[in-house]
Structure 1
Amino acid sequence: MRRIDYDTEQYQDYARGRALSERQQQVWISAFGAVLPERRPLVGLDVGSGTGRFTPALARAFGPVTGVEPSVRMREIAQAQSPHPDVRYLAGSAEDMPVPSASADYALMFLSWHHVPDKPQAVRELARVLRPAGRLLLRANFSDHHPRPWWLEHFHRGFETDAALFQPLHEVIAMFTSDGWRVTGFGTVTEPSVGSRGDMLQRLRLRTLSFFAQLSPDELEAGFRRLEEAVAADPDAPAPVFSEPLLTLERS
């Protein structure tokens, strides 16, 4: 996987390219709430918080949240565009979080796990910062449980290239359970459509997905040409939805 430096690429368009509608956000918050303790408030961590697309919503739903993000540029955008009185954004990573031990009830990692270079250290660090019975909500893609978005078929070896960014589910589970964690749930969430195929194409043109960083300029050009031709045939057709994996783990 080609690593992405969010301080030099993607940060300018990330918030637009990955924005969630109010309905999409609510579906995810409901899914998170279903696997978290019922008591409120809960202290949360948004690990790999990026531009803060979830952090304020987590604070509104569950209680105070710390967004942990290594990219200076992404944190600056989050602080400017996603403020909330119960949210703070700190420099850090999944392997090294600047928060006290046993200080959080849950941590969310939303499509950030595949960016973590030292995953075993992240497993240990997540265990450190969570309280006993604390939950990790891991919204990650897995190579053997891949949602296969419709637009990938227009890029050369699109499905294979995208799936190669992610670990298989059993490997992720083994990494956590061998360190004392237990699995409390695995399921899928169907996120509402972003709108039309034309709307989706406009977002994809911003290239804020890790997949695009793995392709050569020629592959990108050819893939977008095929995608644009396909969308042009019916740009107002609803963009298809798909089921997205959510793994829940509990700290021992």
Structure 2
Amino acid sequence: MLRRINYDDRQHLVYARGRALPPDVVAAWMAEFARHAPSRRPLTVLDLGSGTGRFSPALADTFGGPVYGVEPSVRMRQVAANISAHPSVSYLEGAADEIPLPGNACDLTLLYLVIHHIQDLPAAAAEIARVLAPDGRVLIRNAFADRSPNPLWHRWFPRARTIEEEVFPTVAEVAAAFATVNLRPVALTSVRHRLAAGRADYAARLRLRASSIFDHMTEREITEGFAALDADLATRPDAGPVEEDCDLLVLAG
């Protein structure tokens, strides 16, 4: 089993810059989330594994209710409080299997690039079900081992795919864990997501190593990967935005 990543070690220093999204991309995600959310407003939202809070303020603006950003990393929460403050957002210490909210408190729960960090998925499913309102929805934006999007960076870091196949769960594994608490898939959609304005920007973001997959690689293969990337950039023109198809799994009771 691969080691667990501690975001207090390094990731908190680079995550906000390496994973920053322009306003129009955030707005596109909000529209997609709203399409699957309960229709009433306001909604209370749980941003589970909220990290540096890159979606939490937008969730508050979109759904009109309080947003609780629950994050186990102390330093990621500190960054969120500094750069993603919002009057309707509270950043709380907690984890997927220990959510500091009362039962039936949330109408919508978002896990954005979080599910693969959860060690005990059945326990987390039970806790998410506990805090979810009876007609609530769970939105899981993640890569899944059985639905690899073949991202561009695998060209230079080929072992990333092997790591991801070990790290990421399958859709069936996630569905089975939540089925034990009577939450079942009601949609699985693919959203086209712009990662960077061009390859040079994409390469600059990669150099920050804001993906936890880098933390499972050796320094030698990282160095070799960036050398291959530089060689590729030197011979290939920057051909516009770098985009990727991203999966969103929606669960409901």
TM-score, normalising length: structure 2:
0.96
Structure-2 separation of matches of 1:161 and 1:125 = 28
Given residue 106 of structure 1, which amino acid in structure 2 is its aligned partner?
L
Paired position in structure 2 for 1:61: 62
Secondary structure of 2:187's counterpart equals strand
Secondary structure of 2:176's counterpart equals helix
After the TM superposition, which of the residue ranges 177-186 and 126-135 deviates more from structure 2? 177-186
Poorly superposed stretches of 4+, deviation over 3 Å: none
- The alignment covers a number of residue pairs equal to 251
Structure-2 separation of matches of 1:179 and 1:56 = 29
Q: Percent identity, aligned pairs only?
A: 43
Given that 1:198 and 1:235 are in contact with CA atoms closer than 8 Å, whether structure 2 keeps it comes out as no
Structure-2 separation of matches of 1:119 and 1:168 = 12
Structure-1 separation of matches of 2:205 and 2:164 = 17
Given that 2:69 and 2:89 are in contact with CA atoms closer than 8 Å, whether structure 1 keeps it comes out as yes
1:192 aligned to which of 191, 194, 205: 194
Structure-2 separation of matches of 1:201 and 1:18 = 12
Q: CA deviation at 1:240?
A: 3.0
Secondary structure of 2:242's counterpart equals coil
Given that 1:107 and 1:136 are in contact with CA atoms closer than 8 Å, whether structure 2 keeps it comes out as yes
1:215 aligned to which of 201, 217, 229: 217
Structure-2 separation of matches of 1:157 and 1:78 = 31
Q: CA deviation at 1:167?
A: 1.0
Given that 1:196 and 1:235 are in contact with CA atoms closer than 8 Å, whether structure 2 keeps it comes out as no
Structure-2 separation of matches of 1:241 and 1:6 = 26
After the TM superposition, which of the residue ranges 131-140 and 176-185 deviates more from structure 2? 176-185
Given that 1:48 and 1:110 are in contact with CA atoms closer than 8 Å, whether structure 2 keeps it comes out as yes
Secondary structure of 1:8's counterpart equals coil
What's the RMSD between the two structures over aligned residues? 1.2
Paired position in structure 2 for 1:119: 121
Given residue 232 of structure 1, which amino acid in structure 2 is its aligned partner?
A
Q: How do 1:71-220 and structure 2 match up within 5 A? A: 71-220=73-222
Paired position in structure 2 for 1:232: 234
For structure 1, list consecutive stretches of 5 or more residues without a partner in the other structure. none
| 1:52 pairs with 2:53 | yes
Structure-1 separation of matches of 2:11 and 2:166 = 21
Secondary structure of 1:201's counterpart equals helix
Deviations 1:19-77 (A, max 9, x none): 01111101110110000012110000000000000000000000210000001100011
Given residue 11 of structure 1, which amino acid in structure 2 is its aligned partner?
H
Structure-2 separation of matches of 1:220 and 1:19 = 22
Q: CA deviation at 1:242?
A: 1.8
Q: CA deviation at 1:235?
A: 5.3
Given that 1:23 and 1:192 are in contact with CA atoms closer than 8 Å, whether structure 2 keeps it comes out as no
After the TM superposition, which of the residue ranges 225-234 and 77-86 deviates more from structure 2? 225-234
Q: CA deviation at 1:92?
A: 0.2
Structure-2 separation of matches of 1:110 and 1:165 = 15
Secondary structure of 1:174's counterpart equals helix
Deviations 1:126-170 (A, max 9, x none): 000001121100001110111121111211333222232101111
Given that 1:153 and 1:159 are in contact with CA atoms closer than 8 Å, whether structure 2 keeps it comes out as no
For structure 2, list consecutive stretches of 5 or more residues without a partner in the other structure. none
Paired position in structure 1 for 2:4: 3
